[in-house]
Amino acid sequence: MRYELSDYEWTAIKPMLPNKPRGIRRVNDRRVLNGIFWVLRSGAPWRDLPETYGPRTTCYNRFVRWRRAGVWDQIMDALAAGHDAAVQMIDTSVVRVHQHGACIADNNHQDMGRSRGGLTSKIHAVVDTNGLPVHLALTPGEAHDNRLCSVLLSALLPQTMLLADRGYDADWIRESARQQGAWANIPPKRNRKDPICFSPHLYRARNLIERFFNKIKQCRRVAIRYDKLAANYLAFIKLASIRIWLRANESTPFCNGPDDVKPPE
């Protein structure tokens, strides 16, 4: 099925999964992962998981257990470790919260905010030269776009060009990039008085981050937030990003194979 891991993807991701401790034999990891990716792509509730992937409680418990253990974070970091840092792009995308994902009294603690369209969450992303995700975060939908800039842009490399839209035109963001040896190519706001250096031609590459958001929103579990817990929803976003990385590596001509991706130390 199109939701399931290809042989290449499974070979690449298998070494990064936790080792099996002693005790009861663990349900087949590949089958469980295929079930998790089925929920991610289809957006269906866990209770509708087809029996071919095993018990739904097994898939859900594995998803949550590995999220708590940081497995999804480690896989994401391992895949993104070799990203092309010549260009970094930052942007956000707002998603609506489904009524089943809304909390009664804990919305603020689960990165949900109320706006004109109802409850929303905002995905913050940094992608590399090829539009592949490097850093991801989540805030309530009404949060300002540059709210997490100090965290997401804290590891820019020298000579990196930072691309962002006008919402990020702030002196402190430009200064932060400059201190790291990077250049912020951000269009000026209409009310900016001090002249800045901006290249419209180089700025055209920023459409890659828009494409990234389009790709992850092909996964219905990301396009609409059904999860009450922010940690679970962010984990689904990272799983969608992991799939993008795996497919990009699989289609890269100079990639020798899954051995090119090293598990986290």
Long-range CB pairs of 98-105 (<8 Å, 24+ gap) are 98/224, 98/225, 98/226, 100/226, 101/225, 101/226, 101/227, 101/228, 101/233, 102/228, 103/228
Q: Which two tokens stand for residue 168?
A: 């990020």
Q: Which two tokens stand for residue 142?
A: 């009404």
Q: What integer pLDDT is reported at residue 191 of this predicted model?
A: 87
Q: What integer pLDDT is reported at residue 182 of this predicted model?
A: 95
Nearest alpha carbon to residue 167 among 206, 212, 214:
206
Q: What integer pLDDT is reported at residue 261 of this predicted model?
A: 47
Sign of the C-alpha dihedral, residues 108, 111, 113, 119? negative
Query: Coil, helix or strand for 264?
Result: coil
- For residue 261, the 8-state DSSP code is S
With a cut of 80, say whether residue 2 has pLDDT above it.
no
Query: Coil, helix or strand for 87?
Result: strand
69 vs 71: CA distance, rounded Å: 6
| Residues 207-223: tens digit of each pLDDT | 999 999 999 999 999 99
Q: Which two tokens stand for residue 132?
A: 């592949």
Alpha helices in the chain (DSSP H): 7-13, 29-42, 56-68, 71-80, 149-152, 171-179, 200-203, 207-216, 220-223, 230-251
| Residues 231-244: tens digit of each pLDDT | 999 999 999 999 99
Q: Is the pTM of this model over 0.75?
A: yes
199 vs 206: CA distance, rounded Å: 12
Please count the other Cβ atoms lying within 10 Å of the Cβ belonging to residue 87: 20
Confidence band of 100 (pLDDT split at 50, 70, 90): confident
Q: Between residues 43 and 3, which one has the greater pLDDT?
A: 43
Q: What integer pLDDT is reported at residue 257 of this predicted model?
A: 45
With a cut of 50, say whether residue 246 has pLDDT above it.
yes
Q: What domains lie within the chain, and their CATH numbers? A: 1-81+230-265 (no CATH), 83-228 (3.30.420)
Q: What integer pLDDT is reported at residue 81 of this predicted model?
A: 92
